[in-house]
Structures are given as structure tokens and as C-alpha cells.
Amino acid sequence: MALRIRSSLISLILLMASAVVNAAVMMPVPAPPIVGAKSFMLMDGSTGVELASLEPDKRQAPASLTKLMTAYAIFRALSEDQVSLEDQVTVSEKAWRTQGSRMFIEVGSRVSVQELLLGMIVQSGNDASVALAEHLAGTEAVFAAIMNQYAVQLGMTSTNFTNATGLPNEDHYSTARDLAILAKRIISEFPDYYEWYSIREYEYNNIKQPNRNNLLWRDDSVDGMKTGRTEDAGYCLVSSASRDGMRVISVVLGTASAKARVDGSQALINYGFRFFETRLLYRAGETVARAKIWKSEKEFTPLGVIQDLYITIPRGSFDDVESVLNMPAVLMAPVAHGQPLAELQVSLNGNSLVNEPLRALEENPSGSLWQRTRDGVELWFE
């Protein structure tokens, strides 16, 4: 993969250091499989690139997929020390009476946040969802408002929640795209909690219930996430799988049966892994280029990315990926650590893949009076 650097005055040709070249011939990417769903979305779990979709922005009833946001809100509260896994939650009559799937908590009993989370994630307990919502926000309605605030923050532009369970309400809706965005954030922000989505069964109150995500038994690469089903929503499934360093997220909404949602999800997952690949271009903190800094203490400043930079491409096409680094002709001190100084534009056969700022990997303060004076004179001749 070639790396070119452009500025307003100069054009330099560089080669990627230590690049691992995929010598395989690029295979054609066929149309995605036919899935009997009202909508679906297949996303690269590292880059967020859409791999396949059918009406991904169509508003749908999300059923128990709602509990992904319920869990996200609790995970955020845990990370911010608003609650702890050991907190004892007193089960209200409302939580106990909530219809639908249950973990069978009893009114007036005290149950830990961790037990309620497992009951919600593995057993899809509506009672656990309401108990958690009330513990965090006082009422389920206030908790739903918190869920909607997080949805806005995450860029879930076509989502609105009215409850913590996914029970039917005409103002309670989401989309395949929004749910894929949410799933990706859970996986990336809370990897330790995400492991709970791979648990195949959970027992509470002497009642053992299996995880409804049958893909956990069918495909060893699948490690989450959540099923949903109501009469209005149909059978739904958000699933994620990881193979050979690549992660995909599948969202299938509105199928006719539990088998259809599993078969459709499996077909999408296999399609993603078969015809696409995720490549790491640069690691966080790795020097991509060096920028000349005028009137500085050090003549050059290393540039790189602050997070690992991945791209998603058709399998076998890595040789054709090109990166262009746009850098101003003149950069002046002082330079702060993390300051954006250039832009990396990555493309494949003329199609943009990603534009990423390159930042200073270290600070570079103003130089001495002599250095500033010398560089000032040199700039006259540039």
C-alpha cells in the first residue's frame, strides 16, 4: 500500500513501513444474502462500515432489543460510580407485575445489580429491567428519558424509548442502523460486561433459563448479543461474532420465526467474513510521518493517530489501498501534544475509506531566540 504526502508546495512519495501485503487476488463482492426480515444491517464492528443492509433506517418496534440500551445506561452508571454491582435493589410491585419474559424476582425481595443485569441479559427479564430502571432513576419514565439522552449522544437519530423493556408502545421505536451503533458502543466501551452476553444459561430463584440467542450454540465465533420478540416487532436478533481479528455486528428485525432470525443472522455473519476484511493501518502512538516545525525547539515532530486506525475493504484488495497525507507547507511552534497537524486520506480505487487527522505525538515548544531568528530568515527564502 503506497503512502503519498502532499502539501501546498511539496509532494513527497513514501512507502508504508513493514506493510503486510495481501497477495491474494481481489474477489468480486456479490449481493448480500436474501434475509426474510423487514430490515437488517451488517456492520464491521471495528470501523462501523456498513457491509450490507435492507432498509436500515426504517423505524421498527425493537421489542427486547431495547434492553441493549437499558444495559448501556446501567454500564455507564457503573463506570461513573453512580451505582455498584453489589447494590441491593428492592423489587417494587410494578417490577414484579411487569408482563412478558421474567427472571422471577419477588416483590419486596432485595436483589443485587449484578444479578439483575444477568437476569436481563441472559434471561431477558422484563422484571429485572424495570427494577434496574427504578434503582437508577427512581421511575421507569425518568429512566426512559436517560435512555433517549444516550441515544442522542450515540448518534441514534431514529430512536425513541418509552420504557426499559421493549413492551409495545407506538412511540417506542428504533432502526437496524441505530441498534448496530448501540451494539458497537457496548462492545467497545464495556468489553468486560459484554462477556455476559455469551453466557448460555443463568439460574435465579432455582429457575434456570437458557439464553434465547441460539447462535451461541451454532457458531463458536458468535459471542453475543440479544433477541427480541413481540407480535408487532416479529422475531428480532442483534448478534456479533469475531473471527481472525475481524468483528461483525448483525441486526435482523421483523422475521417470521425464531429460526428465520437465526438463519438470517448466520447468513449475514458468514457473508461479512467471507467477502470483507478489517486491516489495521496504524497503531495508536505509531509514527506515521514527521512534520518540520519552524521556530521550534526540535526541528521535527512525529505525527500519528491517537486510536488504532482500521479500514474495512473487500477481501484481497489491500494492495490497492492508497493513503495521502495532506500537510500545510509551514507549521510553526509551539506544538502541543495531540494537536492535529495534518490529515490522512485513505482510499481504495478512488473511493474514500477514511479521513483521519494526524496529531503531534509529543509537544514541541518554541525554540531559543537564535532558533527563532534563524528560521525566520530561512522562511524568507522558502
Write down the catalytic residue from 39, 53, 101, 124: 124
Work out how many domains the chain is built from and give that number. Answer: 2
For residue 63, being part of any structural domain is answered with yes
CATH code where residue 89 lies: 3.40.710.10
Residues 290 and 243 in one domain: no
Q: pTM for the whole thing? A: 0.88
Residues 180 and 110 in one domain: yes
Residues 226 and 319 in one domain: no
What was the pLDDT predicted at 25? 55
3-state secondary structure of 375: helix
For residue 267, being part of any structural domain is answered with no
pLDDT tens profile 19-65 = 333 334 566 899 999 999 999 999 999 999 999 999 999 999 999 99
Which H or E run includes 179? helix 176-189
Write down the catalytic residue from 39, 46, 67, 323: 67
Residues 10 and 133 in one domain: no
What was the pLDDT predicted at 262? 97
Extended beta strands in the chain, E state: 2-6, 11-15, 39-44, 50-54, 88-90, 110-112, 201-204, 207-210, 222-230, 234-243, 246-255, 276-282, 289-292, 300-304, 309-314, 321-326, 340-348, 351-360
- Give 199's contacts (C-beta < 8 A, 6+ positions apart): 118, 121, 122, 211
Q: Which residues pair with 209 in a beta bridge?
A: 202
Q: Domain ends where: 240, 255, 270?
A: 255
For residue 69, being part of any structural domain is answered with yes
Buried b (16+ CB within 10 A) or exposed e, 124-151: bbbbbbbbbbbbbbeebeebbebbbebb
Residues 123 and 251 in one domain: yes
Q: What are phi and psi of 70, to 5 degrees?
A: -60, -45
Residues 50 and 149 in one domain: yes
Residues 188 and 295 in one domain: no
Which H or E run includes 145? helix 140-154
pLDDT tens profile 279-297 = 999 999 999 999 999 899 9
Instruction: Record the cell numbers describing residue 45, joined without a space.
Output: 464492528
Residues 15 and 137 in one domain: no
What was the pLDDT predicted at 373? 84
Find the domain containing 134 and state its range: 39-255
For residue 30, being part of any structural domain is answered with no
Residues 167 and 288 in one domain: no
Buried b (16+ CB within 10 A) or exposed e, 166-181: bbeeeebbbbbbbbbb
What was the pLDDT predicted at 1? 52
User: Which one-letter amino acid corresponds to residue 48?
Assistant: G
124 flagged as catalytic? yes
**Measured between alpha carbons, how far is 54 from 35 in angstroms, rounded to an integer?**
9
Residues 305 and 213 in one domain: no
Write down the catalytic residue from 39, 64, 240, 296: 64
What helix, strand, coil percent values describe the chain, rounded to 5?
30, 30, 40
Q: Which parts of the chain sit beneath pLDDT 70?
A: 1-27
CATH code where residue 324 lies: 2.60.410.10
For residue 14, being part of any structural domain is answered with yes
Closest CA to 261 of 40, 20, 25, 24: 40
